[in-house]
Amino acid sequence: MRKHIRLLLPAALLLAAPMLHAEMVEGILMDKMCSGMVAEKGFGAAKMHTKECALMPNCAASGYGVVTEDGKFLKFDASGDKKASEALKGTSKKDNVTATVDGKVSGDTITVQSLKIT
């Protein structure tokens, strides 16, 4: 039994390693198409962005991301886009859709491991 545990422990640590480098990002969940208005109108515009708009076919097709308080837009990877779409469809919030995202940030993109509307 101990031999099996000694063999499994390194494998478990290797599998968990990517999770150790995850970052938590909080902000407003919004589609990429509408994210340009944040640069133009500021963070307050992101708070007013509606769930209905984010789920419109063209907006949804553009993908999703999160706008941080400093006005930065982090685009989601394909998996994150799917998680965001499901979360938007499942929330009763109509606007100011805030989210907590766990993932790995690289430049202006985040590889989403988990997403929760708050």
- pLDDT for the residue 113: 97
Q: Which residues does residue 31 pair with via DSSP β-bridges, in sequence order? A: 64
Average pLDDT of every residue of the chain: 87
Range of the domain at 46: 21-117
How many domains does the structure of the chain reveal? 1
Measured between its terminal Cα atoms, the distance across the chain in Å is 43
Q: What is the pTM of this model?
A: 0.80
15 domain-assigned: no
Structure tokens at 52: 């209905």
Query: What gap in Å lies between CA 15 and CA 39, rounded to an integer?
Result: 38
84 domain-assigned: yes
87 domain-assigned: yes
3 domain-assigned: no
13 domain-assigned: no
- Low pLDDT (below 70) residues in the chain: 1-21
Nearest of 13, 18, 12, 15 to residue 104 by alpha carbon: 18
